[in-house]
Amino acid sequence: MHVHTSASNDSRVAPGALAAECSRLGLSPIFITDHNTIDGASELRNAGLRVVVGEEILTTDGEVVGLFLSQAIRAGLSARDTVAAVKQQGGLVYVEHPYDMNRRRLSEKAIEEVAESIDIVETFNGRADPRANRRAEDLRATIGAAPGAGSDAHTLKELGSVYIEMETFDGPQDFLAKLRLGKIVVGRSRLRLMAEKRLRRR
């Protein structure tokens, strides 16, 4: 539910290479959530692949993901206006790595302001440490959102380190309903092992 291509400024993985590796791993559909663009996702969708178009959007209050988008949402809006723009497209609001202190995330104040519009909270991020993921689960339970998970892959090696097994879905609302019944599957990627090692040292 959370991967990046070279359309993001922090990944060098070409969309085609990402799609090929996901196919090899049996991951479908692909949820592409590049930073402030939907170009990588659109390229694969236009090539006929099963892709959910997402965008990790930088707001004035931190980052938030929109899923099932038809158009890119510009960076620099408030969290409230960004969430409204996602909803206007019939998309889903996905709060990613809300307690990872090493990356941009929505502020707690912003989360409180848009809590009723949050559809999904990422309760397992492949790059976040276990403590941050546990806090994310607490947030999800508090606001009643569906649980999301993703590798947050920026390299091919990270793909498949975290994914969700669930039924086939038809559109955002069907996806949201079936997501609640899905199973989060966690591998132990190199980055996750490093995060666990750092946590043990504290």
How far CA 175 is from CA of 84, 132, 165, 178, 199, in Å, comes to: 20, 25, 12, 5, 34
CA separation for the pair 201, 90 (Å, rounded): 44
DSSP 8-state code for residue 136: H
CA separation for the pair 72, 90 (Å, rounded): 13
Closest CA to 35 of 16, 54, 51, 60: 54
pLDDT band at 193 (very low <50, low <70, confident <90, very high): low
Query: What pairing do the DSSP bridges indicate for beta strands 120-125 and 146-150?
Result: parallel
pLDDT of residue 13: 97
Region 15-201: CATH code: 3.20.20.140
Prediction pTM value: 0.91
pLDDT of residue 187: 78
Token digits for 163?
Answer: 């994914």
Once rounded to an integer, what is the mean pLDDT over residues 168-178?
A: 98
Any residues with CB less than 8 A from the CB of 142 and at least 6 apart, and which? none
